[in-house]
Amino acid sequence: MPASSIAATASSAVTQLLRQSLDRGRWASGEALRQEEIAAEFGVSRVPVREALFQLQAEGLLRMVPNKGMYVRTVSAADLHELFRLRALIEGDVLQQAVPLHDAASINRLETVQAALDKARSVDDWLAGDREFHEALYGPANRPESMTIVRRLRFLVDRFYFAHLRPGTRAQGWHEEHHAVHERCFIANSLRGEVRVEGSFAFAG
């Protein structure tokens, strides 16, 4: 494998590990991330760590302080409110377009993902399954630019889900909403009629 491919793979792996650590609240808001410590922990050079930190900065999870380094972005209540409003607007629009376009294959895919999600016991597994569910749900709309924005918005709020989501709490409500959205897709596929998506279905989870 070319050296450039190995470096890209290392950077991607470190980015994913750091994103998961941020989701779990390993670093508090405003806390610094030290390149040398992360590199030593993951057994890599500082190059993929630096690339990962810049990627997470681009996603809005970190902020650069000149001459000091990368810090976990502090998100206020007003920021969260805005992020959820943006999710509702964008995901609602994508979902409105996607629902009537689902076919038997895509509905079967939703069923498979939801079945696995129903069995999730850890917050990590649930968040991963929830992301996969929404990717499958929105897929028929074929809106790559919108989905890039949706993923970025999800990255920004997932650590707050992780902090507050526990078995038997909000997750159960999201399970029910997922099943309801799946049913709407099935009906749309069966009738090929106009389907209006509103309320919590704009971004269930």
- The tokens describing 185, both together, are 């897709």
Q: pLDDT by residue (tens digit) across 31-74?
A: 999 999 999 999 999 999 999 999 999 988 999 999 899 999 98
Asked if residue 204 lies in contact with residue 129, where contact means CB atoms within 8 angstroms, the answer is no
Q: How confident is the model at residue 173 (pLDDT cuts 50, 70, 90)?
A: low
Rounded mean pLDDT, 11-16: 93
* Residue intervals in the chain for CATH 1.20.120.530: 77-203
* Residue intervals in the chain for CATH 1.10.10.10: 3-72
Class of domain 77-203: mainly alpha
Query: Distance (Å, rounded) from C-alpha 86 to C-alpha 83?
Result: 5
The model's pTM is 0.71
Q: What CATH number is given for 3-72 in this structure?
A: 1.10.10.10
